[in-house]
Structure 1
Amino acid sequence: MSAGWLIVVAAMWGATNPFIKHGSSGIENVKENGKVRQFLMELKFLIFNWKYLVPFLINQGGSVLYYITLASAELSLAVPITNSLTFLFTIISGRFLGDQIHHWETYVGMLLILAGVALCVSDKM
């Protein structure tokens, strides 16, 4: 059952990545004098921007769930499932936000990722 939780973690991480990217757009327009003041104004921009903050908190919730799941999951299964499927969920959620997939190799890679994860999971059962 830990494989199911690892897939949930990958979905939480991957699905939020494009939203974090889109939510942080505009931070490059924050300009202040001094490095510390610049940092604080950028931090303020992110904290008070719900389009960034909500996906960030969901992403961090995925990290907490990953940490909890590692207690009962095999490490040789946890790392490939979460890392590879995070990439897959990032591409899929990015498509919903209008990001384009420009190369057919991306689709082949997605199929190979699914095949690899299926092989990892089936080997451990």
Structure 2
Amino acid sequence: MSEIQTFEASQIFSMIAVSCLWGITNPFISRGTKTSTPVSSDISLLLKPFYELKNFIQNWRFSIPFLFNQLASILFMALVVNLPLSMTVICVNSLTFVITALTGAALGEAPLSKNTILGTFLVLFGVILITV
């Protein structure tokens, strides 16, 4: 028989932190891509990466959320190494979806429908069942 896995408070907090970093940065990254300027096709292939990097740094609406998003990816890898894979991935990805939907709605991207709200509560209920 398999043992029932429970998480410590610090592990649950870590999963919530990664989910928040991913979920909050996703709508901001989406907004930031709308303000980026493409690199001209007239630039040589050798110089193009430098122009791309310059655009990345100059477009702070994209680069700052992107860097926080990548920090969350590094933290997620640490979670996956130290916690049960099947439960960690489900919890973090589910919570990320919920936080992305809530953040997007708060930023005025799309209002939350009744189905989205119901789905959010079902996801949260499922995550609570898994982690507690």
Question: Which band: TM-score by shorter chain?
Answer: 0.7 to 0.9
Amino acid of the residue matched to residue 104 of structure 2? G
**1:83 positional shift:** 0.5
Task: Provide the rounded CA distance (Å) in 1 between the counterparts of 2:31 and 2:48.
Answer: 21
Letter in 2 for 1:20: I
Work out the CA distance in 1 between the residues paired with 2:83 and 2:22: 18
Which amino acid letter does the alignment assign opposite residue 26 of structure 2? N
Q: Does 1:95 align with 2:105?
A: yes
Contact 2:26-2:100 within 8 A present in 1 as well = yes
Output the amino acid matched with 2:110: Q
Q: Is the 8 A contact 1:3 1:73 kept in 2?
A: no
Unpaired stretches in structure 2, ≥5 consecutive residues: 1-9
**Partners of 1:118 and 1:102 in 2: how far apart?**
22
User: Deviation at 1:31?
Assistant: 6.0
Per-residue CA distance 1:1-54 (angstroms, 9 max, x = gap): 322201110110011000011111133x53623595777655532332111111
Partners of 1:49 and 1:31 in 2: how far apart? Answer: 13
Structure 1 residues 102 and 93, CA, compared in 2 at 3 Å: closer, same or farther? closer
CA distance in structure 2 between the partners assigned to 1:46 and 1:21 by the alignment: 14
Aligned partners of 2:105 and 2:112 also within 8 Å: no
Identical aligned pairs, as a percentage? 35
* Contact residue 30 and residue 41 of structure 1 kept, 8 A: no
RMSD (Å) for aligned C-alpha atoms: 2.1
Other structure's SS at 2:81 match: coil
Task: List gaps (5 residues or longer) in structure 1.
Answer: none
Between structure 1 and structure 2, the one with the greater Rg is 2
TM-score by length of 2: 0.79
Task: Give 1:37-116 correspondences, 5 Å limit.
Answer: 41=51, 43-101=53-111, 103-116=113-126
Q: Distance in 1 between matches of 2:102 and 2:83?
A: 26
Q: Which amino acid counterpart does residue 33 of structure 2 have in structure 1?
A: S
> SS of 1:12's equivalent?
helix
Alignment coverage as a number of residue pairs? 121
More helix by proportion, 1 or 2? 1
